[in-house]
Structure 1
Amino acid sequence: MARQQKHFDTRFNAGLLHPRYWGTWLVILILSLFGILPAFIRDPMSRVLAKLVMRIATKPISIARINISQCLPELTPDEVDSLIRDNVEAFILILLSQAEMLFRSNDHIKRRVQLQGFENVTQARAAGHPIIFIMPHVWPMEYAGLRVNIEIPMVTMAKAHRNGLFNWFSNRLRSSQGGRVYMREAGIRALLSELKKDNSFFYLPDEDLGPEQSVFAPFFGTTKATLPVVGRLAKAGNAKVFPVKIGYDKKAMVFHTTILPALDPDSMVTKEDESLVLNQIVEQVIKAYPEQYMWFLKILKTRPPGEAELY
C-alpha cells in the first residue's frame, strides 16, 4: 500500500446518499443553483451575504487581521478593516460561483477566465518540458487550475475534507477536465512521477508546513517559514516553473489569469535562495489582488526561534 499512488476516487457510490449527508446535499444543491445563475445576478447577492459572514466569522477574521497587520504594517486600522471586508466579499462571491465550473461548458469557462501569457507555456511544452505552476492560496485558484487544465494535462493535490460528500463534490470539480487529484499523503514522489508522464500541476508555496525542512525568508513586512522543494522537483522532472496570478474583475465579471515568465533555475540553487524567490512570487501575486488572498490561513504559524506565537 505504501507504494500505491493515492488519489481521490471521484466515482459516485451509494454511501453518499446516507442520511448524515442530506444537509450537505442541500448545500450542494444551493451552490449548484448559484453556479448556473448569471454573474450579474449572483454577484450582488454575494455582497449582501458577505455582511452576514462578517458578523459570525469572528475567528477567521481575527486570523486575517493578524496576518494583514504583520505583512502590511503600513496599513492603518481602517485600511485593515476595509481589506478584510473586501476579502470576505471576494470569498462569498467566488464560493457561490464555483459550481459553474462543474455544470457550465468549456466555452463558458473560457469566457469567464481570460488567459494571458500561455504562449510561454506552449513553447516550453513544445521543447519537451512539463510545467510547475506557482500560485499562492487565492480565492479563485480553482478557476486558474481548471482553465489551464482545458489546455494541457494536469494533476493536483488536495487535503481531504472530513465530510465524505463534500470531499467527493470538490474533487469532482477539480477533476472535471480529466485531471487526477492526489491526496496529500501521496507526497512529492507522486508529483514527480506525474511530471515524468508529461503531466503538469500547480504548487502552492505559501502554506506553513511547520519547521521541519522549512527555511525562514523575508515575506512582506515579516518573516515566513517556506518549504523549498520546487527547484528539486523541476530539476528531477525536467520541468519549467511559471508563476501565475489570477483575480476577479467585478466590473467586467471575468477572471483575469496571467502566466508570468518562467523562473530562472539558477535562482533556486540553494534552499535559502529558493525560499526567498518563492516568497517574492507569493508577494507579487498577492499585491495584484490583495483582497482575494486567503488571509484567514495561519501562514505565519511557525516563527523563528525566540519569537512569540502569533495566533
Structure 2
Amino acid sequence: MSPSRSTKTRTDGRDQSPSYLTLKLPKSAYAPRWWPSWLWLLFLRCTALLPLAWSRALGAGLGLLMMVTNEKRASIARVNLEMCFPKLSLREREHLLRRHFIVNGQSYFDLAWLAWTSERRLLRKTHFRGLEQYHELRGRNIILLAPHCVGLNFGGTMASRARATFSMVKLQRDPVVNWLLNRGRMRFGSFLLSRTQGLRPVIRGLKQGLAFYYLPDEDFGQRQSVFVPFFGVPTATLTTLGRLAHMTNALVVPCFTRLLPGGRGYEVILKPPLEDFPNGDRVRDAARMNEAIEEGLRPMPEQYLWTFKLFKTRPGNAPSPYG
C-alpha cells in the first residue's frame, strides 16, 4: 500500500511515522519579504520553456558570477580542493574550481526544468546506467547512497521512476524556494521527510518497501561521527548508514548523478550493492561508505558540492581550516 502524502498525526500529539511533507505553500509565502523570490521563480518558469542547451548557457554564466561575487563559498571550495587534491597545481585546482561553479550554476536553472518540463522531455534527457541490475534487487530493502553532487535533486526524482523512493531534506528558510525544490523532488511520486523527524520514519519507510535516497556526507560534528579518510583527509563521518542497513536488512546501492555537458541532460549511475556491508564495525563501515563515494566522484570531481564545510570538525579539536 502506497503511503499518503498528507501529514498524519495521532490524537495524543505523537507523530505517526512516516509522516511525509506536503507541497502546500504556507500563507507566509505571500508576504512582501518573499516577493523577490516570486520574481525569481517566474524567471525560472520561463527558462523551463527554453531548449536545455540554452538554459545551460545561462546557468554557466550564473555559476561564474557566483564564483566571483560569493567570496566565502569560493574560499571554502579552495580549501577543500587543496586538502583533497594536494598533487594538483594551483592552476589545475583553479580550473577545477571554475568547472565546479559552472555546473553548479547550471544545476540551479535545471531546477526549473525538473519542476515544470514535460515527463517525456525529462525521460528523453535521462540516461541510466546499471538500471537492469537495480531491477534485479526487487523484493529487497534498498538504501541509495547518494553524495551531495550538483545533480542530487534530479537523481532522487528520476530514481523514483525505477522504484518508489523517499528521501530526507533540510527545509530552507525561504518557503518559495522550498516549494520549487520539493515540486521537483516529488515530481514522480517520491516522498520527503524533514531532517527534524529523526530516523524512526526512515526505518518505517524502508520496511514499507520504499528505497531510501540517502545523502550522509556532511560534517555534523563529533557526537555521531568517527574520523575516517575521505580523499585522504581524516573526516568526521556519520555512522548512520551501517546502523540503518543492519536494522532494516537493506542493501546499500551507491547512486551518482552526473550533469552532462550541453543539452544532453543527466546520467543516473546505479552501482552494484556494497559487499560485506555492514560488517558490524562502525569505523570500517564509515570508511567503506567514504570509499564508495570517493570512487564515484573521481571521474567527475567538478560535480561535488565543494562549497560545503566538509572538514570543519578536526581530530583532537584542532582548529577549522576555514578560519
TM bracket (short chain): over 0.9
State the match for 1:283 in structure 2: 294
Q: CA deviation at 1:252?
A: 6.0
Give the structure 2 partner of residue 40 of structure 1. Answer: 53
Indicate whether 1:220 and 2:220 are aligned. Answer: no
**Higher mean displacement: 263-272 or 132-141:** 263-272
- Picking from 20, 24, 27, the partner of 1:11 is 24
Cα shift readout 1:18-69 (whole Å, capped 9, x = no counterpart): 2222111111111222222111212222233333222201000000000111
Corresponding residue pairs, total:
309
* Range 274-283 or range 44-53, more displaced: 44-53
Are the equivalent residues in 2 in contact too, given 1:113–1:144 (CA < 8 A)?
A: no
Query: Amino acid of the residue matched to residue 105 of structure 2?
Result: I
Contact 2:52/2:265 (<8 A) preserved: no
What is residue 74 of structure 1 aligned with on the other side? 87
Distance 1:237 1:35 in 2: 39
1:199 corresponding residue in structure 2: 210
Any residues of structure 2 matched to 1:1-311 within 5 Å, and which? Answer: 1-5=13-17, 6-125=19-138, 128-251=139-262, 253-266=264-277, 268-305=279-316, 307-311=318-322
Distance between the aligned counterparts of 1:134 and 1:266, measured in 2?
12
Determine the C-alpha separation between the residues in 1 that align with 2:80 and 2:28. Answer: 40
| Structure 2 residue ranges without an equivalent (≥5) | 1-12
Amino acid at match of 1:22: W
1:142 positional shift:
0.9
Relative to the length of structure 2, the TM-score reads: 0.90
Q: SS at the partner of 2:315? A: coil
Structure 1 distance, partners of 2:222, 2:233, is: 16
Runs (4+) off by over 4 Å? none
Go from structure 1 to structure 2 and tell me whether the alpha carbon gap of 1:19 and 1:308 turns closer, same or farther (over 3 Å shift). Answer: closer
CA contact (8 A) 1:245 1:288 kept: no
1:94-148 deviations in whole A, cap 9, x for unaligned? Answer: 11112111212222222212011122221111xx212100111000011111111
In structure 1, what is the Cα distance between the partners aligned to 2:278 and 2:167?
25
- Report the CA distance shift for 1:2/1:61 in structure 2 as closer, same or farther (over 3 A): farther
Question: 3-state SS of the aligned residue for 1:151?
Answer: coil
Match for 2:292: what amino acid? I
Match of 2:212, SS state, is strand
TM-score (norm 1): 0.94
Q: 1:266 to 1:295 in 2, by over 3 A?
A: closer
Cα pair 1:65 1:84 within 8 Å, conserved: yes
CA RMSD for the aligned pairs? 1.7
- Contact 2:157/2:185 (<8 A) preserved: yes
Cα offset, 1:14, TM superposition: 4.4
User: Contact 1:106 / 1:150 at 8 angstroms: preserved in 2?
Assistant: no
Find the aligned partners of 2:174 and 2:51 in 1 and give their Cα distance.
29
Aligned-pair identity (%): 30
Structure 1: runs of 5+ lacking an equivalent: none
More helix by share: 1
SS in 1 for 2:213: strand
Instruction: Check the 8 A contact 1:121/1:131 in 2, yes or no.
Output: no
SS at match of 1:181: strand
Judge conservation of contact 1:267–1:277 (CA < 8 Å) in 2.
Answer: no
Q: Is the Cα contact below 8 Å between 1:34 and 1:97 reproduced in 2?
A: no
Partners of 2:51 and 2:263 within 8 A in 1: no
Mapped to 2, the partners of 1:205 and 1:16 lie a distance apart of: 30
CA separation in 2, counterparts of 1:95 and 1:146?
15
Offset, 1:251? 4.7
* C-alpha deviation, 1:13, in angstroms: 4.8
